[in-house]
Amino acid sequence: MKRQRNRLDVGARIDRSRRLRFHFNGKPYEGFAGDTLASALLANGVRVVARSFKYHRPRGIYSAGMEEPNALVQLGGGASSEPNLRATQVELFDGLEAASVNCWPSVNFDIWAFNDRVSGLLPAGFYYKTFMWPKSFWHSYEKVIRKGAGLGTAPEMPDHNIYEKRHQHCDVLVVGGGPAGISAALAAGRSGARVILADEQAELGGALLGNGERIEAASGVDWAMGARAELDGMDEVRVLSRTTAFGYYDHNYVLMVERVNDHLGAPPGTLRQRLWKIRARQVVLATGSIERPMVFADNDRPGVMLAGAARTYINRFGVKPGNRAVLYGNNDHIHQVALDLADAGVRVEAVVDVRAKAVGEAVAAVRERGIEVMAGHAVGGALGKKRLRGVEVLALNEKGDGFAGDIRRLRCDLLCLSGGWTPTVHLFSQSGGKLDYSENQACFLPGEARQAVSVAGAANGVFALKGCLGEGAAAGRSAAGKLGFREVGAPEALPVAQGEAGALMPVWRLPPVSKGERRFVDLHGDVTVSDIELAAREGYSANEHLKRYTSTGMGPDQGRTGNMHALGILADIRGESIPAVGTTTFRPPYTPVPYGVMAGRDVGVLADPVRMTAMHGWHERSGAVFDDVGQWKRPWYFPRTGEGMAAAVRRECIAARSGVAILDASTLGKIDIQGPDAAKFLNRVYTNSWNKLAVGRCRYGLMLGEDGMVMDDGVTSRLAENHYFMTTTSGGAARVMAWLEDWLQCEWPELKVYLTSVTEQWATLSISGPNARRLLSELAEGVDLEADAFPHMVVRSGKVAGIEARISRVSFTGELGYEVSVATSYGLALWQAFQRVGENYDLTPIGTEALHVLRAEKGYIAVGHDTDGSVTPGDLGMDWIVSKKKDFIGRRSLARADTMRTDRKHFVGLLPETRVPEGAQIVAEYKRRPPMKMIGHVTSCYDSAALGRPIALALIAGGRERIGETVTIPLTLQGRVVKAEITSPVFYDPKGERLNG
């Protein structure tokens, strides 16, 4: 194991007593607790950590945070493998394994780097201009392109961690735990408001952790630790570290991900991350800012780094990011960083400042240390390939937009850049807030807000520490104050020394030093200044077009370090101001979010609730095969040992026709309807009339959509004067309930009708067959079951097997039938009671398949099976159920020209030669090859035991006029053709004698 040769001996927020071992690209290294993977790699002198997306250029660590464009790694392996993590954000743990992505065979020798050699052929959008010939070859080209693209690899195994979600309300949500956010949380917390402070880092402090600034007599870090202690002591304040707010939606709804134990390696089975869904009354965004780089030739070489990152590596991680440094920028920050570097023992060659007059305290201090300040100069290019070896510096002309004088070479292995700061306005923009451009600071700042949100500190363009503390406190106080919370004894503003600062001089683009050089704007996507110029030349000069044509800002870093330069260069080319060119939309998420945490527990068996009836356990024990009907598990058929589906269904059908069968009908939707206007309501939602339905009677109803098409059906009974009980299809229950409520609440608020879904409150079984009455009579008490006393479509209350029950005489099989409903908790007891007495009757449990055969023999429709939203009652031959005397939903649509056509598709029966798959199409004229004109399709098809042959139901154009004709069913999937005769849809007992028996 190698020594951590770039590690400083003292200082920083790492624990030198806790050594952590890790592997990178298969090699062992050592770091300390408190390190990130990036800081540990730098400490170990690892320079090349990644390859770029397009040209596969060697890349090093560029930043110290989420803005990192280069250092993407694949973490772990197997079930813990995670692609595309930023090494700058991965907290080191013992045993960590990481590897570079997008390179082969290794990051140091990558075959794909051939792309860099032929980069002249691969400018922005090159793929739109070629790979078009020969036509059939694109698929082959594409395969190669796809292999070259992509970054990390998808894991090969399912995730072994779990995720959860939490909903939380709060008064004030503070996003960002730097000086401004801490101050806001303290102010709001001291007033007694319920506060959540969320920060993406492991510990509070934000920029203070890395910049070494002081507050009062203490270090900034100590101040932050003190604040943390105070916040932890407040009952109504919750501090969430390692938590990133990534989405800001309407009504101050903010989504955040908390990384619960990634920093411990997230052992198998543990909770890895938590999704917080926050509804905040007020939001304070103290999201800080991101440093911008400078743009010049080969500005992507390993060793080129943001100035603030270099500072962070020294002050927070105790790592020397290089031995010999040049700093280059357009503002005071490079001078401050030069001092920190010098203090850490780095040899500072020069500070190259584009400003002709570099003045201010920091500049003076640098000069005092004897470091050369090259004012009015620029870096023209970087030297070296896999590591930075030097820079070329040129003097700028008087206007500062071109070069004057000769190239001077400086040797260095570290180049620190600062091109100013871009406030992190992503969440503010997501919230709907407007952005205003600040010419002074050359950045977009939050403008008019659309939601209850304020922005403080660097995110608001206030970059100096003193301002951050003051503005944060004011924002926290104001947010809580708006909600009626008053801070008691507000402390004085903290004394912070603030030096005189020089103004920033924005430089977006300088002329090339030599033709064909590559100046990278978006490091991740390998987008150069020339690419932007080309896009503009070709007319893709709208900001959004530029982004899409060049893919600027489309990578995992979302262009955090490059977007402002792209915009500035585009504005420069167009000769317009930056605000005129505009900014692209900031879209969620702020940083990439794992699918797993968004899915939470809603995967596997919990993907959707499983609904089971009270009798489910019995069905399972009895060997039922289940079918998913919506969320319900319904017995499909009950095979006996060694029995196949066809034989089981046949047996079940014969039982229902010759003896007695029992079916679990609990899944049918049930809606309790009460109120003086209930009959009026039913009249409006069903096609038939409900005025004359007597108490104790049932009626079948058909429900249409506004388009006049059948949407649901079922039997409704009248239990009392103003009390009805509706049943719906199993699959349509929720939809019908919502539909009815919609009409009641939005269209007919004057109706006094109250709906209650009672699907889950009642367990229902249905018995049918010639012996149904005899069977029921053994269990029913106090109900006269004789045909005259209890005819078809009548409902009675009574006791069945000693349980309070509703008994209705209804049938979906065409046999004498009863439905018995009891409270769900008694469902199983009732079912078992029937099994007990049923032994004498050879009572046969049947599933939905047999039910379908039985109802199809009778020509009864199954909504959603025989109908598909394009079928009217008339099409079904059910005009008898459509009232001509009253209005109902869908009535007007039935009077339209097309719905009144006589050659519409009619519901008919078919006698096919052999059983055909449901969904088979019917043609009038069979041809050997498609296309063929289709005249309808088979909606249901079964082998009928009662008829001893296959039967089918179908929708056929003009079908009722074609009864007796033979049609053809071409089964192109099976390679056969079946003939069928059109018949009436009622195959069995057309007079309905069995039903009324």
Partner 1 sequence: MKKNKRYSIFSLARNARNYHENWAAAWRSPEPKPSYDAIIVGGGGHGLATAYYLAKQHGITNVALIEKGPIGLGNTGRNTTVIRSNYLWDESAAIYELSLKLYEGLSQELNYNIMLSQRGLVSLAHSQHDLREIERRVNAIRLNGIDSEMLSMAELKQLIPILNLSPNSRYPVIGASIQRRGGTARHDAIAWGYARAADDRGVDILQHTEVTGFRIQGGRVEGVETTRGFIAAPKVGVAVAGHSSVLADMAGFRLPISSHPLQAMVSEPLKPIFNTVLMSAAVHVYLSQSDRGELVMGAGIDKFNSYAQRGSPPILEDILAATVELFPIFSRVKMMRQWGGIVDVCPDASPIVGKTPVSGLYLNCGWGTGGFKSIPGSGFVFAHTIAQDEPHEIAAPFSLERFSTGALIDEHGASGVAH
Of 191-199, 758-766, 827-835, 913-921, the window that binds partner 1 (rule: CB under 8 A) is 913-921
For β-strands 347-353 and 324-329, DSSP reports them as parallel
Choice from 11, 97, 113, 253 touching partner 1 (CB under 8 A): 253
CA distance 784 to 777: 9
Shortest Cβ 982–partner 1 spacing (Å): 19
Of 41-49, 370-378, 623-631, 749-757, the window that binds partner 1 (rule: CB under 8 A) is 623-631
The two structure tokens encoding residue 130: 């070629």
DSSP bridge pairs for 277: 167, 255
Q: Is 133 in the site for partner 1 (CB under 8 A)?
A: yes
Choose between 337 and 922: whose C-beta lies nearer to partner 1. 922
Whether 276 and 257 have beta carbons less than 8 Å apart is answered as yes
- Maximum Cα interatomic distance, the chain, rounded to a whole number of Å: 115
The tally of CA atoms less than 13 A away on the side-chain side of residue 690 is 29
The continuous run of DSSP H or E covering 720 comes out as strand 710-720
Q: Is 153 in the site for partner 1 (CB under 8 A)?
A: yes
Q: Is 544 in the site for partner 1 (CB under 8 A)?
A: yes
Choose between 11 and 148: whose C-beta lies nearer to partner 1. 148
Q: Is 290 in the site for partner 1 (CB under 8 A)?
A: no
Query: Looking only at residues 967 through 986 of this chain, which bind partner 1 when binding is defined by CB under 8 A?
Result: 970-973
The two structure tokens encoding residue 915: 């059983």
Which string of DSSP letters, residue by residue, matches 659-688?
S-EEEE-TTSEEEEEESTTHHHHHHHHBSS
Choose between 142 and 372: whose C-beta lies nearer to partner 1. 142
Q: Is 128 in the site for partner 1 (CB under 8 A)?
A: yes
- CA–CA distances in Å: residue 688 to residues 677, 739, 859: 16, 18, 20
**By rule CB under 8 A, what string of x and - marks binding of each residue 579-598 to partner 1?**
------x-xxx--xxxxx-x
Pick the closest to residue 616 from 626, 606, 601 (CA basis).
Answer: 626
Choose between 401 and 602: whose C-beta lies nearer to partner 1. 602
Query: Looking only at residues 32 through 91 of this chain, which bind partner 1 when binding is defined by CB under 8 A?
Result: 53, 80-84
Q: Round to the nearest angstrom and report the end-to-end CA distance of the chain.
A: 91
Choice from 95, 150, 447, 791 touching partner 1 (CB under 8 A): 150
Query: Looking only at residues 765 through 824 of this chain, which bind partner 1 when binding is defined by CB under 8 A?
Result: 812
Neighbours of 705 (CB within 10 A): 14
Choice from 45, 176, 247, 635 touching partner 1 (CB under 8 A): 247
Query: Looking only at residues 682 through 721 of this chain, which bind partner 1 when binding is defined by CB under 8 A?
Result: 705-712
**By rule CB under 8 A, what string of x and - marks binding of each residue 645-674 to partner 1?**
-----------------------x------
Query: Looking only at residues 842 through 881 of this chain, which bind partner 1 when binding is defined by CB under 8 A?
Result: 848, 851-852, 855, 862-865, 867-870
Choose between 304 and 955: whose C-beta lies nearer to partner 1. 955
Of 484-492, 562-570, 775-783, 930-938, the window that binds partner 1 (rule: CB under 8 A) is 930-938
- How many residues form the binding site for partner 1 (CB under 8 A)? 133
- Helices 563-574 and 543-550, interaxial angle, to 10°? 120
Shortest Cβ 732–partner 1 spacing (Å): 4
Choose between 414 and 663: whose C-beta lies nearer to partner 1. 663
Shortest Cβ 216–partner 1 spacing (Å): 41
- CA–CA distances in Å: residue 244 to residues 65, 259, 277, 590: 13, 8, 12, 8
- At position 363, the amino acid (one-letter code) is V
Query: Looking only at residues 98 through 127 of this chain, which bind partner 1 when binding is defined by CB under 8 A?
Result: 102, 120-121, 123, 126-127
Q: Is 600 in the site for partner 1 (CB under 8 A)?
A: yes
3-state secondary structure of 188: helix
**By rule CB under 8 A, what string of x and - marks binding of each residue 261-280 to partner 1?**
----------------x---
- Among all chains, which residue has been given the structure tokens 């089971």? 612
Radius of gyration of the chain from Cα atoms?
38
Shortest Cβ 203–partner 1 spacing (Å): 24
- Among all chains, which residue has been given the structure tokens 């429900």? 703
- Among all chains, which residue has been given the structure tokens 């995670």? 82
Whether 592 and 252 have beta carbons less than 8 Å apart is answered as no
Q: Quote the DSSP letter at residue 631.
A: T
DSSP bridge pairs for 75: 82, 98
Shortest Cβ 742–partner 1 spacing (Å): 12
Whether the ω angle into residue 985 lies within 30 degrees of 0, i.e. cis, is no
Choice from 556, 559, 659, 827 touching partner 1 (CB under 8 A): 556
Of 338-346, 407-415, 726-734, 785-793, the window that binds partner 1 (rule: CB under 8 A) is 726-734
Which string of DSSP letters, residue by residue, matches 190-251?
HTT--EEEE-SSSSTTTTHHHH--EETTEEHHHHHHHHHHHHHT-TTEEEESSEEEEEEETT
- CA–CA distances in Å: residue 494 to residues 208, 454, 459, 477: 15, 22, 20, 16
Q: Is 923 in the site for partner 1 (CB under 8 A)?
A: yes
Choice from 111, 132, 490, 645 touching partner 1 (CB under 8 A): 132
Choose between 421 and 540: whose C-beta lies nearer to partner 1. 540
Query: Looking only at residues 455 through 494 of this chain, which bind partner 1 when binding is defined by CB under 8 A?
Result: none
CA distance 790 to 698: 12
Which string of DSSP letters, residue by residue, matches 490-539?
PPPPPP------PPP--------SSTT--BEEETTTTEEHHHHHHHHHTT
Shortest Cβ 711–partner 1 spacing (Å): 5
- Among all chains, which residue has been given the structure tokens 């026709």? 657
3-state secondary structure of 147: helix
For β-strands 377-383 and 372-375, DSSP reports them as unpaired
Choice from 130, 691, 745, 996 touching partner 1 (CB under 8 A): 130
Query: Looking only at residues 368 through 427 of this chain, which bind partner 1 when binding is defined by CB under 8 A?
Result: none
Choice from 157, 407, 493, 787 touching partner 1 (CB under 8 A): 157
Q: Is 605 in the site for partner 1 (CB under 8 A)?
A: yes
CA distance 295 to 533: 14
Q: Is 572 in the site for partner 1 (CB under 8 A)?
A: no
Choose between 127 and 802: whose C-beta lies nearer to partner 1. 127
3-state secondary structure of 21: strand
Choice from 37, 151, 382, 755 touching partner 1 (CB under 8 A): 151
Which string of DSSP letters, residue by residue, matches 684-706?
HHBSS--TTPPTTBEEEEEEE-T
Q: Is 730 in the site for partner 1 (CB under 8 A)?
A: yes
Of 92-100, 605-613, 640-648, 795-803, the window that binds partner 1 (rule: CB under 8 A) is 605-613
Choose between 400 and 600: whose C-beta lies nearer to partner 1. 600
**By rule CB under 8 A, what string of x and - marks binding of each residue 933-962 to partner 1?**
-x--x-------------------------
Q: Is 621 in the site for partner 1 (CB under 8 A)?
A: no
Shortest Cβ 180–partner 1 spacing (Å): 27
Shortest Cβ 664–partner 1 spacing (Å): 13
